[in-house]
Amino acid sequence: MISRNRRLRTNDSIRSLVRETTLTTNDLVLPMFVTEGHNKKEAISSMPGVFRQSLDLTVQTIKENYSLGIKAVNLYMKVSDNLKDNTGKEAWNENGLMQTAIRTIKDAIPEVIIMPDVALDPYSIYGHDGIIKNGKIDNDSTVDALVKMGVSLAEAGADILAPSDMMDGRVLAMREGLEQNGFTDVGILSYAAKYASAFYGPFRSALDSAPVDNQEIPADKKTYQMDFHNSREAIDEVLRDVEEGADIIMIKPGMPYLDIVSKVRELITQPIAVYQVSGEYAMLKAAAQNGWLDNDKVLIESLTSIKRAGADMIFTYAAPEVAKLLNR
């Protein structure tokens, strides 16, 4: 035989030399859950190793992870029930938990990139990403609220807004709102292709943000998040958000949707973010805890597969332990 593909697999040195995809700490973004209080750390039972933490412990954790090479965090707030309503107005309270968290983190670690979640579900009494009108999620009033929230987070010091709501037209409206208020350097990471997925379960438990059981409103998020049977629709969503001014686009969830990542990578030049969501993380952790899988190896392999498909950055709850593995 003239051609023997195994020649380039002979040993680790040559395999490393011809390796096509490399995973580094520069690829990692850490999602974090912040709650009210001081010195408070609450374990999330469905996500081993992940916690809701008060702001003082959040800052400490970010410092530790920054030293590992994790340069970006994606923030979510556990909002008190008494602050929730149908308008989500707590989302743009200048003294709200998210705004306070951004200012505090920036003061402590100015170099870290803060990507706050922009969505109303943590602030909604209904657990939906939008404002309910006549039993439906009203797109345009929700977009207006999201713009208020985005500008408020930019004022607090956010580097990149991460709207995860999937309302139509919100990227353009947010971009215009930022420009009009002088925040020309604040980026938008749009959840452009966010599917209505069963893999979000542990996350919704962590934030108490699942849709409430009420026959007068939608029982799920399928009227705005995407149908998981579709792929062409994802292309349309991505291209629309790029046209509206998104700096980075998100595809979510991760591994079950790598076909979408690959297709989008062929079509756009903008950076692609992929979210290894709570259900993916929980499955790998459960299998590893039962001795069915090697925790370290499957974490690296799963994230590398996402990178290989075309991702430029990966949101993962495993970022700290993956960073430690990579730093070895």
323 Cβ neighbours under 8 A, 6+ residues apart? 25, 28, 65, 68, 69, 70
Flag whether 9 is in a domain. no
Flag whether 287 is in a domain. yes
Flag whether 19 is in a domain. no
User: Would you state the structure tokens that stand for residue 64, as one six-digit string?
Assistant: 């530790």
Domain with 134 in it = 27-327
Q: Which pLDDT belongs to residue 218?
A: 84
Q: Which pLDDT belongs to residue 17?
A: 96
136-138 and 131-133 beta bridge pairing: antiparallel
Please write the tens of the pLDDT for every residue from 111-162.
999 999 999 999 999 989 999 999 999 999 999 999 999 999 999 999 999 9
User: Is 297 designated active site?
Assistant: no
Nearest residue to 225 via CA among 305, 163, 315? 163
* Averaged pLDDT in 10-residue chunks for the chain of 328 residues: 94 95 97 96 93 97 98 95 94 97 98 97 92 94 98 98 96 98 98 95 73 77 95 97 98 97 98 97 96 97 98 98 96
Active-site entry in 78, 84, 221, 252: 252
Flag whether 41 is in a domain. yes
Round to whole Å and give the CA distance between 131 and 251.
24
Round to whole Å and give the CA distance between 34 and 207.
9
Q: What is the CATH number of the domain that holds 181?
A: 3.20.20.70
Residues facing residue 191 across a β-bridge: 250
233 labeled part of a ligand binding site: no
Total domains present in the chain: 1
User: Is 194 designated active site?
Assistant: yes
Active-site entry in 78, 194, 263, 307: 194
Round to whole Å and give the CA distance between 293 and 285.
9
Flag whether 174 is in a domain. yes
CA distances from 307 to 22, 130, 185, 265, 313 (A): 8, 32, 27, 11, 7
Q: Which pLDDT belongs to residue 185?
A: 97
Determine whether 180 is exposed, middle or buried from the number of CB atoms within 10 Å of its CB (0-12, 13-18, 19+). Answer: exposed
Flag whether 234 is in a domain. yes
Flag whether 22 is in a domain. no
Q: Which pLDDT belongs to residue 209?
A: 63
